[in-house]
Structure 1
């Protein structure tokens, strides 16, 4: 597998896809051949009878891949805006737990850096096998072995959410590249104190703040991407 980064978040709708797509564009601007991978995606809009997944569209556009490669970017997609195993059940399907990880290997000879993105937070269940425990985003991130970039809201409540996410990652032994705060709501102004508290209590760097709809901090660049490591 090429070097890469796993973009996760403290919750759903914190801007993971926005960060992953903008980072992929930045890396392409540096002359890199970039792959993008989302193990599973749920929640589609239907246009002219065809489902369209916004996350997949954003990632594909960032690396300028054809629509025919949606299976390469996200091999398991479900329509209902629910956790993937529940959305799959609504369609009479199940999530293939093994494919969540093995499908990423399809990028091995197609790119020199891979940006992977989870769904929801680290403990979000992606598969519920009948003969084993639930497979979470954390499990997939550990299997891929890339450092984590944690996307968190910039405002009130983010310190607790971010420290909980860090605790889960660190308990599993996952390397953490850092945290980026996303100003989803421009009215939230306690960004500086939140960043300082996360760094002090969490022991990881806050790499910057993204203003609403703005550019990524300069610290979010190719230096964050590392070869995969084995996580027990």
Structure 2
């Protein structure tokens, strides 16, 4: 079974939005797909039902409960900072070996495609010496890079793709998630990026159109039949 690591060019670009969209498309197509978000910062129990983990659970058709959030997001920190900083504020640290082991167990146990949603961008620090890219490398799975259409995204996306390639990470796809205040259209942004990067580019417009997610899921997911829904 194939698994993917969902990462991005930065924070608040659309990782959860894209991951949830793929999961919904998988459910509609009765395909086996699930997701985890092992590291979560900016988390509050008072607002847990609106967390990224809650969005993923809802997209999988699972109850948004404290137990389920803890199951898919074992490392939760209050401060909306990079994991190393958020953990330090609580007198804690991210155990990289435990983190990668948790993900590997989930990959091995998944009945179909597993989506592992990261935190922040590709070079966000996890601890004193490791970045998100080290996390992806340790898992030896391809990445899906989520980018926006804001001013500056061309440079950020090219840099992220090159950085991942330098780290030996395969980028299975670049997903352009239309920004709230786009500097250019999805089509213009994609056309420019295609001149400089090799991974296939998928475009996700803002709004409630699920077809782009259906197309994206169809190109990425293991087409294992999950049985009647």
- TM-score relative to the length of structure 1: 0.85
What is the correspondence of 1:1-232 to structure 2 with a 5 Å cutoff? 2-47=1-46, 54-66=51-63, 67=65, 68-107=67-106, 108-128=108-128, 134-186=129-181, 188-212=183-207, 214-215=209-210, 217=212, 218-225=214-221
CA distance in 2, matches of 1:14, 1:63: 21
CA distance in 2, matches of 1:3, 1:59: 19
Distance apart, 1:213 and its partner CA: 5.4
CA distance in 1, matches of 2:219, 2:186: 24
Higher helix fraction (1 or 2): 2
CA distance in 1, matches of 2:48, 2:220: 34
Could you list the runs of 5+ residues in structure 2 that have no partner in the other structure?
Answer: 223-229
Farther off after superposition, 24-33 or 55-64: 24-33
User: Against the structure 1 CA distance between its residues 213 and 91, is the aligned structure 2 distance closer, same or farther, given a 3 Å change threshold?
Assistant: farther
For 2:227, the equivalent position in structure 1 comes to: none
CA offsets 1:12-58 (integer angstroms, 9 cap, x no match) = 000100101111121122222322122311002342xx756611111
CA distance in 1, matches of 2:110, 2:200: 31
Give the paired residue count.
218
CA distance in 2, matches of 1:215, 1:186: 21
CA offsets 1:100-119 (integer angstroms, 9 cap, x no match) = 21111332334311011111
CA distance in 2, matches of 1:30, 1:190: 29
User: Against the structure 1 CA distance between its residues 199 and 98, is the aligned structure 2 distance closer, same or farther, given a 3 Å change threshold?
Assistant: same
Q: Is the 8 A contact 1:121 1:137 kept in 2?
A: yes
Farther off after superposition, 7-16 or 70-79: 70-79
CA offsets 1:139-169 (integer angstroms, 9 cap, x no match) = 1111222222111111321110000000111
CA offsets 1:45-76 (integer angstroms, 9 cap, x no match) = 342xx756611111111113342232331121
Distance apart, 1:195 and its partner CA: 0.9
CA distance in 2, matches of 1:52, 1:71: 12
Could you list the runs of 5+ residues in structure 1 that have no partner in the other structure?
Answer: 129-133, 227-232
CA distance in 2, matches of 1:158, 1:202: 13
Distance apart, 1:7 and its partner CA: 1.1
Q: Is the 8 A contact 2:104 2:139 kept in 1?
A: no
